Chain A
Amino acid sequence: MTDNNQSLTAIFDKIWPGEADPNKINVGEYERIGSVIAGSVFFLYGVTRKGVIPKVLAPVGGYLLQRGLSGTCAIYEAFQVNTARQGGNADATVHANRAIKVKRAVTINKPAAELYRFWRNFENLPQIMDHLESVTVKDKDHSHWVAKGPAGTKVEWNAEIFREKENELIAWKSVEGATVPNAGTVQFTDLGQDRGTEVLVELDYEPPAGVIGAAFAKLFGEEPNIQVQEDLRHFKQKMEAGELPTTDGQPSGRES
């Protein structure tokens, strides 16, 4: 991006004072300028002409104008797309501009060491993560993961631990060549005073068909935030209650 672009969007920010929080901006610089130009044309055409097409174009233009000026797009927001944070490290495991980011926490009434031990043996994870079929630990730092993909497919990759602090943190990433490049950390924080341990998971991954893949996944109810939240709930249930509560297989009048 150039200084010119930046000063232009800075002017936009002044015209449209609605979005004060720069972290909420999810539309890139060029795209904002494009949105403002296209929006202005559509809007002016729409309001000055008669007919069905102008009637449709006017609100579309209005939306594009607002999106360009404010730098925020509700549709991007809904699908967790962000074109404002382009670029980054080309060698990264997961490319920031294409990545789906998930961050979820849960508090578990058990000591950090016990939780760490369970998680550190990755082979335990399919017990609490519905979408994992199996994990095979190959050596101290390397493991092979098999996950259930959409529509009965399987996704496999190799992962390595690249940072670790006993009872506190595990960070892993997929090694080169993974179909779904991914990286994640889990942190265990003792809250003290018998308040349990906070478990914070941060996960980045590149879905198979980029942003579209995640959008589809969301439509089919496999939204990653919700999935991770349910995984963490299962982790908590497993560690605290010793089992996952279920009603699968109980009787009902539906069978008769």
Chain B
Amino acid sequence: MRALCWFGKEDVRVETVPDPTILNPRDAIVKITTTAICGSDLHLYDGVIPTMEKGDILGHEFMGQIVEVGSDVKNLKTGDRVVVPFTIACGNCFFCRKGLWASCDNSNPNSWMLEKAYGYGGSALFGYSHMMGGYAGGQAEYARVPFADIGPIKVPDGLADEQVLFLSDIFPTGYQAAENAQIAQGDTVAIWGCGPVGQFAIQSAWMLGAGRVIAIDKVPERLELAATKGKAEIINSDMENVVEKLRSMTGGRGPDGCIDAVGLESTGHTPDALYDRVKMAMKLETDRPTALREVIQSCRKGGTVSIPGVYGGLLDKFPMGAAFGKGLTFKMGQTNMQNYLKPLLNRIVKGEIDPSFVITHRLGLEDAPAAYKTFRDKQDGCIKVVLKPQTATV
């Protein structure tokens, strides 16, 4: 089959590789009809996620048809149309039973790597480094799905791929971000980053009862999408001092909930941002928390900071004093996908939301390497790329 493989920083290529096979009784093989490039894939493209190996197949947002199931998969059969969540969970451990699917004890064969870095390791992910399990990803014609009896959700034929594909990651991730912001009826919610996760966090904040949603970014077309589709008030962080602007917009109190949908490769023009770029280039720091610092500074006293943006290592100049002094609550982590698949699918079925609004580029798998660059450089108005693996180029 053809698959997008990682070979190093800014080096991804579509290669011919062997087809996946069933390796365990709870596996299934999916023939992928639509897949996407996630903002978090750009961290791999930029080479800032450790334990990647040359030849690793990327991609964790994919859907398709079941073509084979292992002997222990009873709830799926050949021909079923499914969306596959990006976190892999066994369904039986202490954490899965508590609904903390992203903390699954059993899905990551390389858990010891994470334990060294984090104390305890979380669940495995598709196509996202060996410390995250080393599973081959879904920017390919086929993928092997472990614990297929727990993850994939069947989707009705009446809905197009593009309407349900984002159940694989970004819609639930945006939704959990809004839920983690502990929104009370009428709250003001500020969201840093208007990429796809930010867009879904905006939509979800409204669903959860926000009174006002303020979106922050510096890319004009992303802000525009937040304003038009998301009905959010917007702040261009290139034009304005975000902390001051939020203060004046909220009558001097600050937003009740703040969401960092930017993550570890945040950028900015402030002295601390420049300092981070230098330290990161010298490998003295792994993550650049410019947005997170602003989030902490802006949040009202006793407010909640929700972090769906990905962080991998150590932060420098983390304003712990401000966080403590204002008594902030922090909620974060990978998305506990299996909690959201059914309820969010229901919202799509009922027509409350059509997630395809974030798509700007529709391409074939062979176009993927170029698409990574376009997406990373935010050229050509690129917000979300979907790929059709069964078509060479579109």
Contacts and interface: CB of A to CB of B under 8 A. Distances in A.
Interface stretch (B18-26, B160-168, B233-241, B244-252): B18-26
A245 B92 contact: no
A136 to B, nearest CB: 26
Is chain A's binding surface mostly helix, strand, loop or mixed? loop
Interface string A232-256: 0100110011111111111111111
Given A240-B90, A240-B93, A255-B18, A247 B7 contact: no
A241 B93 contact: yes
Contact of B109 (A242, A244, A253): A244
Q: Which of A226, A229, A252 has the most CB of B within 10 A?
A: A252
Contacts of A247: 23, 109, 133-136
Contacts of A83: none
A247 to B, nearest CB: 5
A216 B73 CA distance: 44
A74 B107 CA distance: 36
Given A230-B112, A245-B106, A245-B108, A253 B25 contact: no
Given A109-B97, A241-B93, A249 B21 contact: yes
Given A243-B24, A252-B5, A196 B17 contact: no
Interface residues of A, number: 27
A236 B17 contact: no
A256 B93 CA distance: 37
B333 interface: no
B interface secondary structure, majority: loop
A240 B92 contact: yes
A242 B26 contact: yes
A107 interface: yes
Nearest to B146: A245
Contacts of A109: 92-94, 97
B124 interface: yes
B170 interface: no
B54 interface: yes
Given A245-B106, A255-B18, A256-B17, 15 more contacts: A240-B105, A241-B90, A242-B25, A242-B72, A243-B26, A244-B24, A245-B146, A247-B109, A250-B20, A251-B17, A252-B17, A252-B53, A254-B55, A255-B17, A256-B55
9 contacts: A109-B93, A241-B90, A241-B93, A241-B106, A243-B24, A246-B109, A247-B133, A252-B55, A256-B17
